[in-house]
């Protein structure tokens, strides 16, 4: 039988990992904007595109991945919603 501490340890690790990735994406795009602007994507500088559209898509992917992993964790530990 799994302990509740194991569930929260997995949840905390997932949350901290995704928050670290979010910080990296958010500040990485701004930090390397000049270097990213050397590339062109759909007629726009890549740094501009990532700031305007790309980062939002990445945020949605983070939310989707978090939801998917939490459903698997809930099922693994037997606490899924009915």
The three-state DSSP-derived secondary structure of 12-74 is: HHHHHHHHHHHHHHHHHHHHCHHHHCCCEECCEEHHHHHHHHHHHHHHHHHHHHHHHHHHHHH
**Residues of the chain above pLDDT 70, percent:** 96
The pTM of the full predicted model, rounded to 2 decimals, is 0.81
**Residue 55 contacts by C-beta under 8 Å, 6 or more apart in sequence?**
25, 26, 29
Q: What is the pLDDT of residue 1?
A: 55
Q: What is the pLDDT of residue 82?
A: 56
What confidence tens digit (pLDDT) does each residue in 2-37 have?
677 899 999 999 999 999 999 999 998 888 888 988
**50: how many CB neighbours lie within 10 A of its CB?**
24
- Per-domain boundaries in the chain: 14-77
């Amino acid at each position: 039988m799994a302990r509740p501490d194991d569930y929260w340890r997995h949840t905390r690790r997932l949350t901290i990992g995704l928050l670290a990735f979010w910080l990296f994406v958010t500040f990485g795009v701004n930090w390397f904007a000049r270097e990213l602007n050397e590339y062109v994507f759909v007629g726009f500088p890549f740094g501009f595109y990532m700031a305007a559209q790309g980062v939002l898509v990445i945020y949605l992917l983070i939310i989707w991945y978090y939801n998917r992993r939490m459903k698997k964790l809930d099922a693994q530990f037997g606490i899924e919603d009915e």
